[in-house]
A and B are shown apart, each in its own frame.
Chain A
Amino acid sequence: MNETLKLAITLMVISVFSAAALAVVYEKTYPIIQANKVGKLNNALKEVLPAEHYEEFKLDVVNAERSFKAFDKDDNQTGLIVLSPAPGFQSVIKVLIGIDTKTKTVTNIKILEHLETPGLGSRIEEPDFLGQFKQQGLEKQDFDAITGATISSKAVIDSVKETANEIIKLIEEGKI
């Protein structure tokens, strides 16, 4: 009994020290990590649809994980940005899609997160592929997939088409 107690106390002391050390480091790094995340998202939003400021809102009709309204200097809404998850080859590809409310076109897209095969599926991040979505309306139906990354690139293409379709429909119906 005595020995068991000794073992337990040893482990407890070590755990307490460990927890204290982690608490200090966490306290120090958490704000920076959080700022990094926000900064990354903000940069991505700017890349997809440049605007003065963005406002997150709830959009539950479409395949949207998160959605943002983009406003210009005079607080007029210029467009929408939707973060849409697409089932890729071995991961969920998170695609950020910008849509101009006036022209009803896709302004640009960006891959925010993915874990596709390096060198193959990861090529969905290349500008050659992403560039084909720039300033495209719904009339464009044919997008080029990437050789060696058929599933990953098709997932992105389908996700963009589907999401843009739904959103532009909502815009036309005046719901957003």
Chain B
Amino acid sequence: MSALKDLLNGIWKQNPTFRIILGMCPALAVTNAAINGLTMGLATLFVLLASGLFVSLIRNLISSKIRIPCYIIIIATFVTIADYFLAAYYPAIHEVLGIYVPLIVVNCIILGRMEAFAGKNPIKNSLADAFGMGLGFTWALVLLGAIREFLGFGAIFGFKILGSWYPQMVVMRLPTGAFITLGLLIAMMNIIRKQKAEATCHAHEGGDKPC
């Protein structure tokens, strides 16, 4: 049951992009198209899962003094594997993501989750947490990418939706567009959260007193 809670945690309640606001560099840089966001998200998901597994496995064997370098070696290994894999089997996407694949190493979500979760919890929970965080990051990137691609190119996942009459918003293809979209999305989610929290308050206390 608690593993399920850990899984859902990253998807919504502590969504890395919209809630903890971590890993902003790839979130802003590669989300000019939905497919780029998806690939980046999946690569990060893979690194999170694999590193989470290993960090959780060896968490009792390594001294806390050198835990950070150990985590970094593990993370870097899997990032390099992901990089080679993409370069070999998906060269077109690898070219688009470019420098951002090796940079997954320094994505704060990964080191953050290793330090805050996988280094302290059993394998089952660590995998659930990594999976949830990875999925949370992925859907956030896909949503960002889809909105920017739609407004910037009139397409989603490469499929033209709006015809040539659509004056494509170039700003949405640039990092500026990512900042604008991300800001609006976070604001929107905060409103939803607030309303939800108020609704549960009312339900619990039966009155209209804010809690």
A and B interact: yes
Q: Report the separation of the CA atoms of residues A32 and B77 in the bound assembly, to the nearest whole angstrom.
A: 20
Q: Report the separation of the CA atoms of residues A28 and B91 in the bound assembly, to the nearest whole angstrom.
A: 15
User: Per-position contact with A for B74-94: 1 when CB-CB < 8 Å, else 0?
Assistant: 101100110011011101000
Q: Are A117 and B63 in contact (CB under 8 A)?
A: no
In the complex, A18 has a CB within 8 A of chain B: yes
Q: Are A25 and B63 in contact (CB under 8 A)?
A: no
Q: Are B81 and A21 in contact (CB under 8 A)?
A: yes
- Neighbouring B residues of A21 by C-beta, 8 Å: 77, 81
User: Per-position contact with B for A11-35: 1 when CB-CB < 8 Å, else 0?
Assistant: 1001100100110011011101100
Most-contacted residue by chain A among B74, B84, B89 (CB, 10 A): B84
Q: Are B66 and A11 in contact (CB under 8 A)?
A: yes
| 8 other A-B residue contacts (CB within 8 Å) besides A14-B74, A21-B81, A25-B85 | A11-B69, A14-B58, A22-B80, A25-B84, A29-B84, A29-B87, A36-B87, A115-B98
- Neighbouring B residues of A40 by C-beta, 8 Å: 91
Q: Are B65 and A22 in contact (CB under 8 A)?
A: no
In the complex, B184 has a CB within 8 A of chain A: no
Closest A residue by C-beta to B63:
A7
- Neighbouring A residues of B116 by C-beta, 8 Å: none
In the complex, B59 has a CB within 8 A of chain A: no
In the complex, B10 has a CB within 8 A of chain A: no
Closest B residue by C-beta to A113:
B95
Q: Are A33 and B84 in contact (CB under 8 A)?
A: yes
Task: Label chain A's interface by main secondary structure.
Answer: helix
- Neighbouring A residues of B65 by C-beta, 8 Å: 7
Q: Are B63 and A148 in contact (CB under 8 A)?
A: no
- Neighbouring B residues of A30 by C-beta, 8 Å: 84
Contact of A18 among B61, B77, B98 (CB under 8 A): B77
In the complex, A127 has a CB within 8 A of chain B: no
- Neighbouring A residues of B77 by C-beta, 8 Å: 18, 21-22
Q: Are A26 and B84 in contact (CB under 8 A)?
A: yes
Give, as a whole number of angstroms, the nearest-CB distance from A153 to chain B.
Answer: 15
Closest A residue by C-beta to B171:
A119
Give, as a whole number of angstroms, the nearest-CB distance from A127 to chain B.
Answer: 15
> Which A22-64 residues have C-beta < 8 A from chain B?
22, 25-26, 28-30, 32-33, 36, 40
Give, as a whole number of angstroms, the nearest-CB distance from B134 to chain A.
Answer: 20
Give, as a whole number of angstroms, the nearest-CB distance from B79 to chain A.
Answer: 11
Q: Are A10 and B61 in contact (CB under 8 A)?
A: yes
In the complex, A73 has a CB within 8 A of chain B: no
User: Per-position contact with A for B38-69: 1 when CB-CB < 8 Å, else 0?
Assistant: 00000000000000000000100111011001
Q: Are B73 and A18 in contact (CB under 8 A)?
A: yes
Q: Report the separation of the CA atoms of residues A7 and B62 in the bound assembly, to the nearest whole angstrom.
A: 8
Q: Are A14 and B70 in contact (CB under 8 A)?
A: yes
In the complex, A140 has a CB within 8 A of chain B: no
Top-5 shortest CB links A-B: A119-B173, A29-B88, A32-B88, A18-B77, A29-B84
Q: Report the separation of the CA atoms of residues A11 and B91 in the bound assembly, to the nearest whole angstrom.
A: 33
Closest A residue by C-beta to B66:
A7
In the complex, A102 has a CB within 8 A of chain B: no
Q: Report the separation of the CA atoms of residues A95 and B62 in the bound assembly, to the nearest whole angstrom.
A: 51
In the complex, B32 has a CB within 8 A of chain A: yes
Q: Are B63 and A10 in contact (CB under 8 A)?
A: yes
In the complex, A175 has a CB within 8 A of chain B: no
In the complex, B174 has a CB within 8 A of chain A: yes
- Neighbouring B residues of A138 by C-beta, 8 Å: none
- Neighbouring A residues of B76 by C-beta, 8 Å: 18
Most-contacted residue by chain B among A30, A36, A115, A119 (CB, 10 A): A119
